[in-house]
Amino acid sequence: MPEQSPVQPGLAALTRPLDSLSGRHVLVTGGSRGIGRACAEAALAAGARVVIAGRDADRLGGVEAELREEYGDAVTASPVDVGDAVAVAGLVRLAVGVLGRLDGVVHAAGVAGPVGPSVEQSPEAWWEAVRVNLLGTFLVVREAARSMAPGGRMVALSGGGATGPFPNFSAYGASKAAVVRLVETLAYEWAGVIEINALAPGFVATDMHQATLAAGDAAGPEYLARTRRELASGGVPAELAGRASVFLLSDRAAGITGRLLAAPWDEWWLWPERRLDIAASDLYTLRRIVPADRGER
């Protein structure tokens, strides 16, 4: 019998109305491709004005032109290396100058990093992935927080390896797990002022998976097979992450902070009904499990 894909309840969000971001001003990094572009398009469709940023200036300009055909001057693009503190500061200044203020941030920029057994990976390549994925997240949300008024909301993209081991992708997995802990930490630091959450998009068919295919057996036979299978099926639509990011930026998510939302697996559109329960618990967080948690001594 053919292998059946597990049911992903979060996909039901694709048929639900998009939450409103009317009158909001949003910065989206990694906005020139894949998940970042989907988040930018969802924010625009929800009524926001958006600045998109990415490293590839030519590609970014092309995406800006395409989006302006539908959304006019509601979208502006600016190239940036998110791992460069000076460049990030300049990006936030530009965003505030263009938009007038900053209400929300979606940080989607990231790289796959080196693929293969950790003992064979270049330390320089490993650290570069951490620089972009983790330091880049820190620099963007830190700089944005300095320019945001109280009530601002941020979303940082997490990913594979954040909630479990990710063999042969140690730089990516470690950096994305660290992003989740950074989000939880900042949620405490910014309590009552700015709310921030992490978003796991699921297996979206993006350019990053070409690194897995190029690595071949070095990616691990099981994950390589899964990648080929997911890409053949189309994977999780990037639109789902876009819709989830809009929810997290919207008024409906007010009071929800320091959480990890898994777009394909969580019925996150019901979170507002559970707002108080979520806030008073460790639901949707990363925690150490001890024997007592499993009814053991």
Q: Which residues are catalytic?
A: 172
Q: What is the DSSP string of 11-50?
A: GGGGGSPPPP-TT-EEEEETTTSHHHHHHHHHHHHTT-EE
255 phi-psi bin (left φ>0, alpha ψ -120 to 50, beta other): left
Q: Which residues, in sequence order, are CB contacts of 295 under 8 Å at separation 6+?
A: none
Residue in 110, 124, 145 with CA at minimum distance from that of residue 36: 110
Tokens 């001003």 locate to 25
Q: In what order do the strands lie in the sheet with 153-157?
A: 75-79, 49-54, 25-29, 104-107, 153-157, 195-200, 260-262
| Distance between start and end Cα atoms, the chain | 42
Which is nearest to 249 in space by CA: 202, 210, 194, 292? Answer: 194
DSSP output for 238-297: HHHHHHHHHHHHSGGGTT--S-EEETTT--GGGGGGGHHHHHTS-TTS-----GGGGT--
Structure-block tokens of residue 206: 């993006």
